[in-house]
């Protein structure tokens, strides 16, 4: 038996203030705040948005270790940009190193990008980081996302774990036979066959699923079992989000 | 390959490009969904799940390793359905792993899915050939072209976004050829295997293996 920890499980949140809010409301709030941050220019707005998303993160009860690990790759690139952009932007210099000139404009652009990127990623993490994918699919479906797209999402989510296990089984079989990845033709062909077999097995599985669904009278409609009810619990979150959005918009466009 | 969250939103032109990306992805996804009838939803869903899992595979490349993208293969297998499949995959990546946020979703989907669809039209005929070298070459070309085109789109988006990113474009282009080569080799092998084992995946005739052939070479 292969020990298996699913990489696709949602992060477990300790407290659940955000987790109890209607997922539809969370999706709308995350989209609205992301778009606002993308459009904003003033540093006060970007800084406040980042602060708001950090606050949301604290309320979501996600473990900080997970959050920091997830932000690491993004911020590695951001650091690189902060070093490169002052060199490539041109404008008023604030320092030079030999022939290299560091400009203020580039630095500010880098800072703005870092703020925006982190705020947008954190908002998504805070509001939807602990939602499980099936709920996400149902919520999207209730938000009038086309049926076929949500069905596709639900199917993809449903079989991620199954196929990941299938993949681990194939990988274990390769290991048992002494396969060690190197940089040669044999390795690439073997990986090609691995992917190919994964697709073959998925295809066969999908045929069985389709047949089973047809047997049960599938007509292109899933009957959603999660019906979200907008309740009194959601009012504080909704009002706070609306207030935050309004204040940020006023700060930016007045 | 991936345009990172925040960078395009930094400039006015960048925001326009983000909006264009969203609109184009919406159009492509609508067409993909329109062309995919209800009967095929389980198939496309399970296959895109498999592509998601395959994209977690890291293959050695020089001193480092690269994860697979398989855009070309998605194009060959899924056609226009690659648009919704990639959109779903990127959305799940953003939610599960925090790779990218909501505002780059449209542009990133476009960057990956448009080359995939191009590969579908360019290399499908050749991938259905009866001669194994041609089939392998078609797979190789699809895998490599998808990566190269995606790199080009990525670099073009950066260059168009503003003066400051002009130097980043060529830099991004520079790291794509080795990835394209590896993706090509792997996609070629996948297509050959699929043609011999389960040609229905590609809706192609069975490729009869040569006499006395051992599949692992």
A179 touches B: beta carbon within 8 Å: no
> Would you say residue B162 lies in a domain?
yes
Report the distance separating Cα B153 and Cα B174, nearest Å.
Answer: 13
| For residues B93-116, average pLDDT | 91
Minimum-distance CB partner of A117 among B5, B60, B192: B5
- Does residue B164 lie in a domain region? yes
Torsional sign, CA A19, A5, A70, A145: negative
Based on the domain organization, do A187 and A233 belong to the same domain?
no
Q: Which residues contact A71 (CB under 8 A, 6 or more apart)?
A: A118, A121, A122, B98
Q: CB-based contact (8 Å) between A220 and chain B?
A: yes
Q: Is B93 on the interface with A (CB under 8 A)?
A: no
Q: Nearest-CA distance from A131 to chain B in Å?
A: 9
A107: which 2 tokens?
A: 């630095």
- Which of the residues B66, B164, B181 would you substitute to probe the A interface, choosing the one with the greatest number of A C-beta atoms within 10 Å? B164
Residue A137 lies in a domain: no
A106 inside domain: yes
Predicted pLDDT at A190: 94
Residue B217, in any domain of the structure: no
pLDDT value for A4: 57
pLDDT for residue A96: 73
- How much of chain B, in percent, has pLDDT values that exceed 70? 96
For residue B159, give its domain range: 8-123+146-173
**A65 inside domain:** yes
Could you tell me the two tokens for A89? 């932007």
Q: CA nearest B91: which of B77, B74, B103? A: B103
Task: Kindly state whether residues A108 and A160 are assigned to the same domain.
Answer: no
Task: Tell me the residues of chain A between 50 and 69 that have a Cβ less than 8 Å away from chain B.
Answer: none
- A209 & A151 share domain: yes
In terms of Cβ atoms closer than 10 Å to its own Cβ (0-12, 13-18, 19+), residue B72 is: buried
> Of B77, B83, B2, B10, whose CA–CA distance to A198 is shortest?
B77
CA of B198 vs chain A CAs: smallest distance (Å)? 6
Which of B10, B50, B200 is closest, CB to CB, to A202? Answer: B50
pLDDT exceeds 70 at position B180: yes
Q: Are residues A101 and A161 in the same domain?
A: no
Residue B83: the pLDDT is 96
pLDDT by position in tens, chain A (length 254): 445 567 777 676 766 678 888 889 999 999 999 999 999 989 999 999 999 999 998 888 888 888 899 899 899 989 988 888 888 877 777 777 777 778 888 888 999 999 999 999 999 999 988 888 888 888 998 899 998 999 999 999 999 999 999 999 999 999 999 999 888 899 999 999 999 999 999 999 999 999 999 898 887 777 777 677 778 888 889 999 999 999 999 998 88
Q: For the residues B36-58, what does the mean pLDDT come to?
A: 90
Confidence at residue A16, expressed as pLDDT on a 0 to 100 scale: 67
Give the pLDDT confidence score for residue B37 in this predicted structure.
86
The total number of structural domains in chain B stands at 1
Tokens of B214: 């051992």
The reply to whether A44 falls in a domain is yes
My answer on whether A30 and A104 are in the same domain is yes
Handedness of CA A172, A177, A180, A186 (dihedral sign): negative
Contacting B residues, span 151-190, partner chain A, CB-CB under 8 Å: 163-168, 182, 185-190
User: Looking at the domain assignment, is residue B71 inside a domain?
Assistant: yes
Tokens 């079992």, residue?
A: A225
Q: Alpha carbon of A247 to those of A21, A119, A239, A241, B61: distances in Å?
A: 22, 16, 12, 10, 49
Query: Do A77 and B4 touch, CB atoms closer than 8 A?
Result: yes
pLDDT at res. A2 = 47
pLDDT reported for residue A14: 64
In tens, the pLDDT along B125-164 reads 999 999 999 999 999 999 999 999 999 999 999 999 888 8
Residue A190 structural domain: 146-215
- Mean pLDDT of the B109-121 span: 96
- How many separate helices (H) and strands (E) can be counted in chain A? 8, 2
Mean pLDDT (chain B, rounded): 90
Chain A hits for B163, CB-CB cut-off 8 Å, are 88-90
Confidence at residue B1, expressed as pLDDT on a 0 to 100 scale: 62
Band of pLDDT at residue B211, cut at 50, 70 and 90: low
The answer to whether residue B129 is domain-embedded is: no
Instruction: Give the count of domains, chain A.
Output: 2
Say which of A37, A149, A209 has its CB closest to residue B29: A149
Residue A48 shares a structural domain with residue A114: yes
pLDDT digits (tens, 9 = 90+) for B51-74: 999 988 998 887 788 889 999 999
- Closest CB from B6, B62, B88 relative to A156: B88
> Do A119 and A34 sit in the same domain of this protein?
yes
Residue B197: predicted pLDDT: 93
Task: Examine residue B101 and state whether it is found in any structural domain, yes or no.
Answer: yes
Do A232 and A206 share a structural domain? Answer: no
Residues A90 and A187 in one domain: no
Locus of tokens 């089939």? B135
In chain A, which residue's Cα lies nearest the Cα of B54?
A195
Tell me, what CATH number does B65's domain have?
1.10.1760.20
Question: Is B113 part of the contact surface with chain A (CB cutoff 8 Å)?
Answer: no
For A30, nearest residue in chain B (alpha carbons): B102
**Residue A140 belongs to a domain:** no
Give the mean pLDDT of B77-103.
91
Q: Domain check: are A94 and A125 in the same one?
A: yes
**Contacting residues for B169 by C-beta, under 8 A, at least 6 apart:** B155, B156, B158, B159
Q: Strand, coil or helix: what is A115?
A: helix
Chain A contact probe: residue of B95, B127, B163 with most A CBs at under 10 A: B95
Decide if A109 is inside a domain. yes
- Can you give the pLDDT at residue B162? 83
Same domain, A22 and A127: yes
CB A204 within 8 A of CB B200: no
Distance CA B78, CA A204 (A): 16
Q: From the list A114, A192, A207, which residue is nearest B186 (CB)? A: A192
């Amino acid at each position: 038996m292969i020990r298996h920890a699913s990489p696709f499980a949602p992060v477990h949140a300790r407290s659940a203030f955000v987790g109890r809010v209607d997922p539809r409301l969370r999706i709308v709030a995350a989209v609205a705040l992301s778009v606002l941050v993308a459009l904003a220019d003033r540093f006060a707005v970007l800084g406040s948005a980042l602060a708001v998303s950090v606050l949301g993160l604290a309320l979501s009860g996600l473990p900080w270790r997970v959050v920091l690990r997830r932000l690491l790759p993004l911020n590695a690139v951001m650091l690189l940009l902060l070093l490169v952009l002052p060199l490539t932007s041109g404008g008023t210099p604030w320092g030079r190193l030999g022939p290299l000139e560091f400009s203020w404009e580039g630095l500010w652009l880098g800072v703005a990008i870092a703020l925006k990127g982190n705020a947008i990623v954190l908002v998504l993490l805070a509001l939807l980081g602990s939602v499980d994918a099936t709920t996400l699919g149902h919520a999207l479906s209730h938000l009038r996302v086309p049926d076929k797209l949500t069905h596709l999402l639900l199917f993809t989510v449903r079989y991620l774990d199954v196929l990941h296990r299938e993949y681990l089984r194939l990988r274990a079989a390769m290991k048992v036979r002494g396969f060690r990845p190197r940089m040669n033709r044999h390795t690439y062909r073997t990986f090609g066959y691995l992917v190919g077999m994964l697709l073959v097995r998925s295809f066969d599985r999908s045929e069985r699923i389709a047949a089973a669904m047809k047997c049960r009278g599938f007509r292109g409609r899933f009957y959603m079992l999660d019906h979200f009810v907008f309740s009194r619990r959601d009012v504080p979150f909704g009002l706070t989000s609306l207030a935050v959005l309004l204040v940020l918009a006023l700060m930016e466009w007045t | 390959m991936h345009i990172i969250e925040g960078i395009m939103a930094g400039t006015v032109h960048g925001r326009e490009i983000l909006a264009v990306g969203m609109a184009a992805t919406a159009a492509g996804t609508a067409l993909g969904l329109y062309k995919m009838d209800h009967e095929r939803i389980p198939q496309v869903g399970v296959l895109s799940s498999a592509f998601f899992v395959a994209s977690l595979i890291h293959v050695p490349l020089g001193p480092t390793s690269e994860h697979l993208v398989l855009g070309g293969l998605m194009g060959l297998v899924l056609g226009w359905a690659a648009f919704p499949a990639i959109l779903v995959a990127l959305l799940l990546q953003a939610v599960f792993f925090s790779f990218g946020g909501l505002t780059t979703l449209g542009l990133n989907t476009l960057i990956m899915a448009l080359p995939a669809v191009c590969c579908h039209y360019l290399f499908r005929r050749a991938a259905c050939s009866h001669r194994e070298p041609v089939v392998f070459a078609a797979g190789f070309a699809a895998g490599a072209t998808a990566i190269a085109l995606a790199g080009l789109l990525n670099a073009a988006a950066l260059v168009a976004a503003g003066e400051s990113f002009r130097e980043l474009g060529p830099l991004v282009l520079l790291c794509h050829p080795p990835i394209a080569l590896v993706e090509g080799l792997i996609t070629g092998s996948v297509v050959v295997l699929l043609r011999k084992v389960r040609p229905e995946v590609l809706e192609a005739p069975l490729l009869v293996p040569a006499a006395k052939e051992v599949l692992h070479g």
